[in-house]
Structure 1
């Protein structure tokens, strides 16, 4: 089976195997390409197709492969807006006193097909207009985007306001600013920005990489990152973070990279 689909659930794990461990997550409205590559071998060593209810996909945003439940997918249709707030709710009617249907995270994508007072009408329900931004108008400050997720619990492989990891925090901020971004920190180190010398003065929007970790420079003395030390997205004094990460056995900074200047 081939073709393109959209994620129709608010949030879904991109799993390494059917019912397997999470590698990343996908948000409502994100596009995936269906792939017909063989599924992993079974315990008997024989190659088998995807089990009923699961499909092998590749995320359009970064090429990340994995499996998702077939029920999480909807036909490929246009999307026009993205959630620009930390999180928002879907309502069955343009009334915030009605029982919400679901929560949507920063970065979720929707087709807006009309307006009703303070709400935007979408195929899934109504969303506060103040929480949406047009897809064709990118943001200019990735650190400001990442900062909306302060306090979000750390979650390995997470990509949402319910839980996020270090590379997820970098990716959601880059994508909001129209910057293509891989899903894992090692690939981000290779793909993002221009290298800075070790003695360069760091500025807002620079990225620091370690072996298996990445964080945003919020200002010359502050790091913004999702980390297992705080188990959350947190600000941390930059020199303290560098010393702590090395002391815990993860080594020194492996790269300093500079993206385009924030507007």
Structure 2
């Protein structure tokens, strides 16, 4: 869970705050809304699970937070800095600082297939002005953090297993010591053993104070990792709350549909069995 607010002190400033966000695609008369009035926050050491079907606007929201999509309305604040009106030069400077990082569903999209793991990890540090000796030290520290052996540094992504590639992608995101990591379906392409490894790493990051935005279409993927869950449906945030409340007491019909679509237990009503299966994933 995120750190509790101490009585008498101001609550922790969110690492990410999105307020009234609208995003449209297209031009003039062909413009169509993709996100409408979306508001959410992620605090230090908190994992927010963003759930929604394909086309609901999840990835568009992530791209807006990363400065790759310009909002039509609303605001985005990263580590206390209003960024929704930033120009290209300001975004370049912000990215060099490594405050926010992104992990793709397919690590081959974020790892250059022609670069060794070592060069991929070093690149964001060297661009940010980190000396080579310090970069080498940080690379080895982050490898240990994601449980990758140092002898993999000389390999290219195509020489790694799927689980190793995803951990290398997570390592590349962590090497800049970000405040926020956005993970877009980080475990959907992995087998069960590698899913467990990645989810364990994410829990450790949360404990270390890193804010995580975990994007998925699968409620079961985030049930055991997220502190809070936000449900996105057709570009609107239809429900949000603690993971336990959203799973055990869903209010919106779409959320109830998601809960009812979880794997069921033979011999029990589908919605009850699905809820029981998801509840079993929640932290004690």
TM-score, structure 1 normalization:
0.26
- Higher-RCO chain (CA-CA 8 Å, sequence separation at least 6): 2
